[in-house]
């Protein structure tokens, strides 16, 4: 009963982790730096970026801990 529930939580946390990583602002110029010049508009981390970092780390910890519990077979 608990293994299917944890499996669904694991999948959902994985999807949220992907979305949270994609929401982060890029740190470097990448290929866009070739066409444009000048400095970045956002040079410091804002409160929203800090909250996004915390949410990403929390989701990562949840995802990895459930992965360890499910793969170790502790809940047979």
Q: What is the DSSP letter of 76?
A: -
Per-residue model confidence (pLDDT) at position 44: 60
- Asked if residue 13 is part of any domain, the answer here is yes
Taking the complete model, does pTM exceed 0.85, yes or no? no
- Asked if residue 34 is part of any domain, the answer here is no
As for how many domains the chain has, the answer is 1
- Asked if residue 29 is part of any domain, the answer here is no
What is the per-residue pLDDT across 4-19, written as a single tens digit (0 to 9) for each? 999 999 999 999 999 9
Per-residue model confidence (pLDDT) at position 25: 82
Report the alpha-carbon distance of residue 58 to residue 37 in Å, rounded.
Answer: 36
Q: What is the DSSP letter of 46?
A: -
What is the per-residue pLDDT across 34-54, written as a single tens digit (0 to 9) for each? 665 555 555 566 888 899 999
**DSSP strands (E only) in the chain:** none
| Domain membership of residue 1 as a residue range | 1-22+48-76
Average of per-residue pLDDT values in the chain: 85
- Asked if residue 7 is part of any domain, the answer here is yes
- Asked if residue 1 is part of any domain, the answer here is yes
The whole-number average pLDDT for the span 23-37 is: 69
- Asked if residue 14 is part of any domain, the answer here is yes
């Amino acid at each position: 009963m608990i293994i299917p529930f944890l499996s669904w939580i694991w999948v959902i946390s994985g999807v949220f982790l992907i979305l949270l990583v994609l929401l982060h602002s890029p740190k470097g110029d990448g290929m866009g730096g070739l066409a444009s010049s000048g400095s970045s508009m956002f040079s410091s981390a804002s409160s929203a970026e800090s909250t996004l970092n915390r949410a990403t780390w929390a989701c990562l910890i949840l995802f990895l801990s459930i992965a360890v519990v499910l793969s170790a077979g502790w809940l047979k």
